[in-house]
């Protein structure tokens, strides 16, 4: 099936808006989950700290806090990139290529943030005792699929 004319323009606009919303929500979830040094001050909030059993919160919290500056830099970068997306959306005349480029850059930044998070978790896990890793693993299992 092919689309042309006004129908094609509306379909393209809808697809772009949908993509923007999905990326915006993804970036918001990542940024919200990574608030502060991976879970906020004193282990409040955040996906990572939600996986940590109470007896390990101080140990893991301190290790996460030490990694905070690199996350702040990438979060700040993502905020600026979201403004670029907003500018591309508001531009007249509308330039789909400019929007695609802004969204691609935002996606790369979100990928970097996730990569830093995964690297950090691996490094922290390597510094824990086997018993501490088992305790932490139980927290991750509790965060498994929701039904």
Q: pLDDT tens across 32-46, in order?
A: 554 444 444 433 446
Task: Using pLDDT thresholds of 50, 70 and 90, give the confidence band for residue 18.
Answer: confident
Buried b (16+ CB within 10 A) or exposed e, 81-102: bbebbeebeeeeeeeeeebeeb
pLDDT digits (tens, 9 = 90+) for 95-106: 999 999 999 999
Q: Apex CA 92: angle with CA 87 and CA 97, to 5°?
A: 65
The token pair that represents 76 in the structure block = 């700040």
Across 15-38, average pLDDT: 60
Across 114-136, average pLDDT: 88
Say what the pLDDT of residue 30 is.
Answer: 56
pTM score above 0.85 = no
Q: In this structure, are residues 128 and 136 in contact, taking their beta carbons and an 8 Å threshold?
A: yes
| 5 pLDDT above the threshold of 70 | yes
Say what the pLDDT of residue 28 is.
Answer: 63
Quickly tell me which residue has 């990326």 as its tokens. Answer: 23
Say what the pLDDT of residue 8 is.
Answer: 72
The token pair that represents 92 in the structure block = 């007249």
Alpha-carbon span 87 to 89, nearest angstrom: 5
pLDDT digits (tens, 9 = 90+) for 46-93: 667 788 888 888 888 887 787 778 778 888 888 999 999 999 999 999
94: left (phi over 0), alpha (psi -120 to 50) or beta: beta
Say what the pLDDT of residue 38 is.
Answer: 41
Say what the pLDDT of residue 1 is.
Answer: 59
Average pLDDT, the chain: 78
């Amino acid at each position: 099936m092919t689309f042309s004319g006004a129908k094609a323009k509306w379909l393209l606009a809808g697809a772009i808006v949908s993509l923007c919303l999905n990326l915006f929500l993804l970036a918001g979830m990542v940024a919200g989950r990574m608030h502060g040094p991976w879970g906020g001050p004193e282990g409040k909030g955040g996906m990572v700290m939600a996986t940590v059993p109470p007896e390990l919160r101080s140990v893991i919290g301190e290790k996460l806090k030490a990694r905070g500056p690199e996350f702040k830099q990438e979060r700040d970068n993502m905020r600026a990139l979201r403004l670029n997306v907003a500018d591309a959306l508001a531009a007249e005349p509308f330039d789909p290529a400019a929007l695609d480029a802004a969204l691609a850059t935002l996606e790369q930044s979100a990928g970097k943030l996730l990569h830093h998070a995964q690297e950090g978790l691996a490094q922290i896990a390597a510094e824990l005792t086997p018993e501490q890793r088992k305790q932490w693993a139980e927290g991750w299992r509790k965060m498994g699929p929701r039904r």
